[in-house]
Each structure stands twice: as structure tokens, then as C-alpha cells.
Chains A and B, each alone.
Chain A
Amino acid sequence: MTFVTQPIGNPAAPLARRNPVAKLAAALLFSLPLLSTLDPLTPAIALVIELALLPLFGLRHAVLARHVWPLLLAGAGVLVTMVLFASDRSGTVLVGLGPFDVTTGVLATALGLILRLFAIALPGIVVFATTDPTDLADALVQNAKAPARFAIGALAAFRLLPLLGAEWQMLTLARRARGVDAGRNPAAKVRLFGATAFALLVGALRRGGRLAVAMDARGFDSGLPRTYARRQTFTGADTLLIIGAAGLAAAVLATTITLGLFRPII
């Protein structure tokens, strides 16, 4: 089990340096309007813009591709699902498989869905791939006025996540050492998995409880106004990034509407 807990891009790139809250807001403003239409052109244009902007975030396409494999997997899943279950099988038959005929209509629908998935997920991925979690928590507290108890608490919990992988392995080995295994019985496998997951959860809660006590012992619950050791600033450039994102989203939708391809979701 691995987690991306540190930025993977060049942190000095012009847009990677922007305030984390500004990046998050820009990502939301750019990707949410894409949800309003069902046509494949809107996400396609958005995706082209996103990929073109990657270098400004200090991300190399190849590096990003290695980290977004779950997204690629999800894309493949959509394709398989559409081939198996699509009701609209119009268009030219490309591969004749009886009830699972692969037609141009099926492929067009699948492609539209995959493009939407990518275009909407990518901005969020870019934000987290270019932002240090500590900076994000700081900016949420300082610039977005999020409660410190929530933002810093989540950050502390996040730090414990990578431990879960090692913990899972230990619990699995310990069960084998106790003579508990599932053999070839699938039902026993599911039960064993459930029991191990429960033990993992119990352990995580106990650790979380201890961490919370240690944090309060250092005054996290003091109720005094916190000061900030690390300053997060929100500048004109950050405002520009947000405005730019909203403007680009509007331009993309305007193009689709002008071409008459806009298919509202409702």
C-alpha cells in the first residue's frame, strides 16, 4: 500500500507556487461547470487545456501518468462496462459479439464518459500532486478560515496513514502464526479479511486516541487564538489564478454552445 503524501512536481513552477486554497478553488471552478453538459467535446477541450497547463504546475506528463494509474484503471472499467451493458448499440458494428456488439455508438458513449472522468478528476489530482499537505492545512486555516481543529487534526491523522500498510501486513502474519488461515475456501477468505480489517480499525482508533491526548497535552485544546509559524499569503496572482480558471471554464462552455453541441444534464 502506498500513498502520495508528498508533492511529485517541481515546487518552484509558477502555478505550483500559488496558494493551496487558490489552487483548490481554481480546480473546483474549472471542473464543476463541466458537469453541466453530456457532450464529449466539452471535456475533450477541457482535457486539452489541462494537459497544456501541466508544465506551468511543474508536472511532467510521464511522471503524472505513473501516479494516476487508478484513474486509467477506472477508464478501462468504464469501457468494459459500456461494452457489456450499453443499451444504445446503434451505429456501425465494429466487432460482432451478439448481445455485446461493439458499435461506433457504444464507443462514442464510452469515450464521452471516459473524457468526463479524466477532465473532472485531473484538476484535483494536479492540486494534490503539487501541494504539500502541511501547506494545504495552513492555507485552509489562514486563508479560508477553516477551523484549526479540523484542518490540523486531519493533517495529523493523515500522517498516520502510511503506518496502516505495515500494520496490515503484521496483522495478516500474526493471524497465520496463530493458525488462522482461509485455505481455498472463499467464504473463509472473506471472513478472515473482515476480521483483519476490523483489527486494523480498532488499532487505528486506539492510535488516534493516543495522538489526540498527546496533541491536547501540547495545548491543542487550549482555546487560545493560535498563531502561525508558517505564513501562507494570498496575493493578487492567486486571485488571478481563480479568475483565470473561471474564465477558461466559461470559454469552454461558450465554444460548445456556439457549436450547438451543448447537451444539458437536466
Chain B
Amino acid sequence: MSTVVLRGFGWRHAGRRAWAVRDVDLRIDDGERVLLLGPSGAGKSTLLAALAGLLPADSGEQAGTVEIDGRSPADARDRVGIVFQDPQTQLVMARSGDDVAFGLENRGVPAAEIWPRVSDALDRVGFPYPITRSTAALSGGEAQRLALAGVLALRPGLLLLDEPTANLDPAGADLVRTAITRSRSSSTLILVEHRVAEALPLVDRVVVLEAGGGIRADGTPEVVFAGYGDRLADEGVWVPGFPLAPQRAIAGSPTSPLAATRAVARAVARAVALVVAEDVAVDKRLNDVSMSVSAGEVLAVTGPNGAGKSTLALVLGGLLAPTGGRVSAFGDPKPPHRWRAATLTSRIGSVFQNPEHQFVTSRVADELAVGPRRLGRTPTEIAGTVDSLLERLRLTKLAAANPYTLSGGEARRLSVATALATAPRLLVLDEPTFGQDRRTWIELVTLLAELRDEGHAVVAVTHDDDFVRTVADRTFALGELSGRPA
């Protein structure tokens, strides 16, 4: 167990004018379990990196002091363990047991002690496979469990968790939270997490960082949320007890009691189906699917991992050729995957799960101009489109920024904006609300509802129950793909 003391701590990354975090005075005692909150950009991750001794002195400027058990973080590295967001870039070895052993080898633990400590750590996180299990064959949630085991095996006095479930689907996130609970770790814990309701059972104290520096609130969850809950919710923290307003289409609501009205609405919708899929299949990724999407509706595609949801999104988006069945759209005799790219973007916009995959330029404004330019729009038209999209998605201030330097929420908004730049009638999104803070979430859902009411069709692959509840007009559930290799 470790004690953490910060006095007037601040950090400014080299080459940046603004401090990432500053004026933090904080004492965390042995065995305390702290949830660290704050609006996006308040410096939560920087603070964790500082505690983990991962901010080299030459990479920025420090103010004040940080002490872990009276030592500087650089000297206390062996007492601190940290788990990051991305499971893919935390695992080092090809076999699960070897990966847990990696940290023990680095710390010079005698060989005879390594394997008992490996099995103990794997047992504590509830890792369900033998130690020879290939790390490449693990799901995201399992990989994060393994990463946690790798850190617990080192018996850290201070355990830092930097949004450990942000990249996981709900089932995977549950696995990791269960693992944190069942590990019965006696370490001092500092957790950064947007999803407060799910994190609360793991902590006994909440600390809220202020965006401009300093600490806004500190205390038990009850006290902090009673005093600051509404402001935190406005700033994007998922504070429990703040409901989300439904954004249903005015007509054709699925909760309408009049079955006859619904039948009429459906008949009308079918008449304006933008895309129709008949028995569409993709080898080993998607079983036969028949569906249609109509103008003026938000369709949520749900289903377990590996059911082929993302594959279906690629097929509907005209990006992947189905190996069976047919897709017809916009009255074109050719299926979407055979269209020229420019034609495709004028009809169907796709938003990928990882926004970074989608960026092709080095400036936010250029990114929005790519699509319209490909369609041969005039420079005046392009400038108009770019400006109005920047405005609509609150990106005007970032027009000259590099897309790769944006925060998660900003990158998501930009990726949606790039798809809208060519004004497609159909929008296909893969997990649009995934990992977003509450503020970005509400903005996205409102935007999609507006697009729907303007007569666009929206297809969203999603695991997010809140999304389905608030904005989806119809849900299409994909079943488990049978005969899938493990």
C-alpha cells in the first residue's frame, strides 16, 4: 500500500503553451480507492502518467512536487502499476502466462517465484484459460483482464487504471470491472472512468479536477454528486441519476398504440427504401441477412460480438462485396460496392468505429473539403460546406488542427462531419457513441435525430442501450454467427 502526496503539482508538455494539469494539492492515503473525474482535457491521464513515472523530465515542465511513499515517481516505479485503455498495445508476449511473467522478469523476481505468482495473479482476475493461451486469440475484455493480471503480479502499492474499459463493449467492460472487484487488491487505487455508475462500486472517494487547474471537489461519492452532479453532467461526466431525453421521430413511433397507423407508416417507409439487402452473406463473417432501410428512420443494428454487425455496416455502406445475396440501393442497377467512390459518398456516408482510420489529410478543415472536392464542387461551395459543418459540430476553433491530435470526442465529431460533407441520404455508423463522454453523446444523438427528421436514413451498429432507447426507431438484431472459429 502506498500514500500519494501532490503539492502544487502541474505539468506542461514540451511545445505546448497551456498546462495539461496544474495547481493540484492532493493527499491519498494507504488503501484508499479514488475515482478521478473531470471534464475532457482537465489532465486526468497526464496526472496518472506523472504518478506512474512515465513523464521523463525532458518531455515537459513540472511545477510543485509528487511523492509516492516519500519518493519521487521515478524512484517509486516498482511500487506503481498502470493499466491503459487499449488492450492491443499492452500485451507483450505471445502466450498469456509469459505476458504476466514479463513484468516479474523485468523486476528481477527469482525464477522459482515467477510461476506461482503468475497463476495467483491470473486466478485473482478470473482468467479462464490455461497459461499457454495465445494472447492474439483473446477478446478485448479478456486481454484487459490479462493486462490487469500482469500488473497485479507485481504487487503494486499504487494501482492506476486509465479508462480501462473505454475500448470495450459492455460485456467486456463487465469482465474487467468484475476482475478489479474480485482481485481483492489491497493497493491504493486511482481510477479514471467516464461511466460513473459502473465505477462507483469500486471506489470510496471521488476527486474532481477543474479544467483550468486545481481541484473542484473531493469527498465521498454522495457528497460530491449532491453538490456538483449537475455541473459535472453538463460537462460530459456520466453522473448517475441524470436521464437522457428521448429523441423519437414525430411520426411512426414504435410505441404508438395504433397498430393500423404503424402499418401505414411501414408501408410508406417501404416505398422510400433507400437500400434493400436480400439474403446478404459474407463468408465466415455474416450469415444470410435480409433487411431494408428507409428515408426518415434511425435503424439500430444490435447483436453479440462476432455476429457480423460491423461487416453488415461495411456491406450496406458499399465498402465490402457480399459473397452471397444482393444489395440494391438508390435505384441504381449496380450494387453499392461496384459504384465509383465519388458516387458512393454522394449517396452513402460511412463512419468507422475508429475515427483515425478515416482521416486522409493533416488539417481538420482540409479533411472536410476532401469529399466535396472529389464531387467537383466549386471552391465557394466547398468553403460554405466546410464552414457550416465546423459550426454545426463545434469544430470551428480546431479548423487548423491536425486530426490526429484531437481528443476522442472531437475526433468522433470530425469523422461524422466528414461523412456529412457530401450530403449523403444514407448514413452508416459503426458504434458512433462508443466511449464518448455525456456531452458528445447528447450532441451526436441530437444531430442524428435532426438528420432523420430532415429525411435522411441512419443505420447505426451499436452496443449502447441508451442509444437504442433514446433515438432508434427500429432495431435489427443479428443472431450469433454459427460455426464461427473460436
Contacts and interface: CB of A to CB of B under 8 A. Distances in A.
B98 A230 contact: yes
Interface string A158-173: 0110110000001101
Contacts of A214: 84, 89-90, 92
Contacts of A178: 341, 345, 358, 360, 370-371, 418
Contacts of B344: 176-177, 179
B319 A177 contact: yes
Interface in A81-137: 132-134
Interface in B342-356: 342, 344-345, 349-350, 352, 354, 356
Given A134-B93, A180-B374, A218-B151, A174 B105 contact: no
A225 B314 CA distance: 50
A207 B89 contact: yes
Contact of B104 (A162, A211, A227): A227
B150 interface: yes
B165 interface: no
Interface in B93-111: 93-95, 98, 101-111
B105 A179 contact: no
A155 B240 CA distance: 44
A133 B422 contact: no
Contacts of B356: 203
Contacts of B104: 227, 229
A32 B91 CA distance: 37
A134 B86 CA distance: 23
B265 interface: no
B82 interface: yes
A181 B370 CA distance: 12
A222 B77 contact: yes
Given A210-B89, A227-B111, A171 B357 contact: yes
B278 to A, nearest CB: 23
Contacts of A213: 54, 84
Given A177-B319, A222-B106, A159 B370 contact: no
A60 to B, nearest CB: 23
A225 B352 contact: no
Nearest to B151: A218
Interface centre among A152, A177, A229 (most CB of B within 10 A): A177
Nearest to B428: A177
B108 A180 contact: no
B115 interface: yes
Given A195-B360, A227-B108, A219 B54 contact: no
A170 B344 CA distance: 17
B90 A227 contact: no
Chain B interface main SS type:
helix
Size range of the chain B interface in the assembly: 35 or more
A41 to B, nearest CB: 42
A181 B341 contact: yes
A179 B345 CA distance: 6
Contact of B108 (A5, A181, A210, A224): A224
A227 B110 contact: yes
A189 interface: no
Interface centre among B102, B136, B374 (most CB of A within 10 A): B102
A156 interface: yes
B444 interface: no
A179 B374 contact: yes
Contacts of B140: none
B109 A227 contact: yes
Contacts of A226: 105-106, 108
A11 to B, nearest CB: 13
B43 interface: no
Contacts of B93: 134, 155-156, 159
B52 interface: yes
Given A134-B93, A156-B92, A159-B92, A219 B111 contact: no
B320 interface: yes
B397 interface: no
B375 interface: yes
A52 B305 CA distance: 48
A177 B92 contact: no
Contacts of B89: 160, 207, 210-211, 214
Interface in A143-201: 152, 155-156, 159-160, 162-163, 170-171, 173-181, 183, 195, 199
A229 B111 contact: yes
Interface centre among B314, B350, B357 (most CB of A within 10 A): B357
B17 interface: no
A53 interface: no
Contact of A210 (B86, B94, B118, B374): B86
A177 B107 CA distance: 47
A231 interface: yes
Nearest to B374: A179
Contact of A215 (B92, B101, B115, B151): B92
A210 B49 CA distance: 12
5 contacts: A179-B370, A202-B404, A214-B92, A222-B107, A229-B115
Interface of A: 5, 132-134, 152, 155-156, 159-160, 162-163, 170-171, 173-181, 183, 195, 199, 202-203, 207, 210-211, 213-220, 222, 224-231
Given A177-B345, A211-B89, 4 more contacts: A155-B92, A178-B341, A181-B340, A227-B108
Interface of B: 52, 54, 77-78, 81-82, 84, 86, 88-95, 98, 101-111, 114-115, 118, 135-136, 150-151, 154, 314, 317, 319-320, 340-342, 344-345, 349-350, 352, 354, 356-358, 360, 370-371, 374-375, 404, 418-419, 422
